[in-house]
Chains A and B, each alone.
Chain A
Amino acid sequence: MSTGTETEADAAEESDRMEEAQGKARGLHGSGAPNAVAVDHGPTKLSSVAAVVAGFVAALTSGPFSLLALPLALGGVAMIAGGLFWRTNRTWVTTGTMSLYLAPIIAGALGVAVELLLLSVVSTFLAWNFGQRAIDLGEQVGRHSTTARNEAINISLVTFIGFASAALGYGVYTVSEGSRPVAAVAMLVLAALFLSWAMRS
């Protein structure tokens, strides 16, 4: 009995092997050689995750302080996440960023601590940039390729620049704290704007 089933299994195996060989031979002469790899142009993983994390930080540091800011913040994060994980869409990421950006401005107008606001705004920009980078890399290089090092470098560079400019502004702000009129700060901001425009790469 047992020998019978064995031979049957052997026969089945053999026919499998023959089929496989025939398939290979057909591959050479017929329609398909080994198939091409799947090309995945979705946003790259590391930057996408970083973008959503940054978005959450931004939302948490601005949303909870105002009933008006909260939906904007959470909606913005959802928008960014949707534009990266659900379907690839740059406009969603940018729209989400705009919505997210409104949250600290509203919270600021209601008198939330400036440190938190700065953290929120920096995180918003980070989320925006990481999201852009994820989509960019996805389109040009693809999720199926090695991109982690490129993403890590970008994340650290932009994070550094973002927090450095926030720190600079914060420094000036604390030094000049007191009864400085808004006009002075406005002028300084305008000065920074014009000078930054004058700078060219």
Chain B
Amino acid sequence: MSTATASAPAAAASSRVDRRLVNRLGLFLGLGGITMLFAAFTSAYIVRSGGEDWTPLELPGAVWVSTILIVLSSGTLEMARRRFTGGALGAFRSWCAVTAALGVGFLLSQLNAWEALNEAGVYLQSHPKSSFFFVLTGVHGAHMIGGVIALLVLFAAAALGRLRPERSDAPALTAIYWHFTGGLWIYLLAVLSLLG
């Protein structure tokens, strides 16, 4: 089993490690955990939607505004990421800011949806579907807030000259996370409008 290669001194393991690969794998595993969280919510939703007290809920129009904003934001973040790899840090900063603004817009639009429901007399505890609507949008919104914070950190780091395109993978990682939360929203919207 042993293959002696005594001539070549063993390379220090730390230098053999590809940090980009490490960070990406870490992120993907984290996204796996988040996926399981929403899978659990979905299974609860499906079970609960079979109950006799399940009441259909017309989704407020604001969720479609949210959807447009979040799709746009994925596009602008992709612009930011490409400018970053191209070394255009100024343009990167601008696109980051636009994306963060769209993210905040998404969150405000979601709040708007909550208010629209409340005005129609539908609250968290009104019936099971409304409960799920508030829980799912709330937990998803919490993950969006995380993404917005990451964007602001990126923006500040770029402004302070701490980000170097040849070394930092942070914009690409943030983009993966952002696209994931965007996709997650489309998925939740599909669940909320198609199932039950």
Instruction: State yes or no: do A and B come from one complex.
Output: no
Q: What residues make up the interface of A, taking CB atoms closer than 8 Å to B?
A: none
